[in-house]
Amino acid sequence: MAKYSERAPTMANPVFRGISYGVAAMLLSVVHVVFLRFIAVGSITPDLMLILVVWVALIEGQFTGTIAGFACGLLFDAISGDVIGTNALAKTIAGFVAGYFFKPGFGIAIIGNYRFLLIVTLAGLIHNLLYFTFYVRPMQVGFFEFVLTYGIATTLYTTVVAVFPMLVVNRR
């Protein structure tokens, strides 16, 4: 972490970090609405915003991670046209859970490690379980069948995509 701060001193400023997270969330939103259909497998796509939430939770802690989850979830709900609040709820709790793995000064070390993938998987599973609870409720399909088909597939795809930030941080 010390080495990382030396290389990028501006990132030590919490305000600058907050702005950069906001910009990252906006960019991911654009990527989500424009480019994600190109890598969609069936209707399964990775949840880039969840990766950002886990990242924030591991770098900034549980408190900020929870708030970031809520903010990213609201943004996601707005751009995806779904019921406002469903993603906000799921990502808030995902950010809170990811925050349990926060260790001051070791955030970058965790992200550059396979543990990041495990945390993304765990947060993704909890996120999808919660999200599909609200999603499947009005439909006449089996909840577990739906979660097994889409929830786990989305989580796995998100975990695969999370390998890229892990490798980038790892190489640094």
Partner 1 sequence: MRRVIEFVVRFKNYITLCSLVVMSFAFMSVGSLSQLGGFRAVIVGSIGWIQSLFAWVPNPVALKSENTALRELNLQLSIESSRYRQAMVENGTLRNMLLLPTYTDDKLIAADVVGKTNTELRNYATINRGHDDGIKEGQAVVTDAGLVGTVIGTSAHYAILQILLNRDVRISARVYRSNVDGILTWEGEQFLSLKNVPRTYDVKVGDLVVTSNYSISYPTNVVIGRVSNVSDESNSLFRKITVTPSVNFSTMDQVFVIDKLPNKERVHLEDSITHRQLQKAMSR
Q: Which residues contact 60 (CB under 8 A, 6 or more apart)?
A: 17, 68, 102, 107
Task: Check binding of 104 to partner 1 (CB under 8 A).
Answer: no
**Phi, psi dihedrals of residue 41, rounded to the nearest 5°:** -105, 105
Contact characters 60-99, partner 1, x per CB under 8 A: --xx--xx-xx--xx--xxxxxxxxxx-xx--xx--x--x
Q: Among the candidate windows 9-17, 31-39, 105-113, 164-172, which touches partner 1 by CB under 8 A?
A: 31-39
Name the residue nearer to partner 1 (CB basis): 9 or 138. 138
Q: Among the candidate windows 15-23, 28-36, 110-118, 160-168, which touches partner 1 by CB under 8 A?
A: 28-36
The whole-angstrom separation of Cα 24 and Cα 67 is 15
Figure out which of the listed residues 8, 23, 37, 148 binds partner 1, where binding follows CB under 8 A.
37
The whole-angstrom separation of Cα 11 and Cα 21 is 11
The whole-angstrom separation of Cα 54 and Cα 118 is 11
Figure out which of the listed residues 28, 32, 56, 147 binds partner 1, where binding follows CB under 8 A.
32
Task: Check binding of 140 to partner 1 (CB under 8 A).
Answer: yes
Figure out which of the listed residues 21, 25, 45, 120 binds partner 1, where binding follows CB under 8 A.
45
Task: Check binding of 30 to partner 1 (CB under 8 A).
Answer: yes
Binding site for partner 1 (CB under 8 A): 30, 32-38, 40, 42-43, 45, 47, 62-63, 66-67, 69-70, 73-74, 77-86, 88-89, 92-93, 96, 99, 131, 134-135, 138-141, 146, 149-150, 154
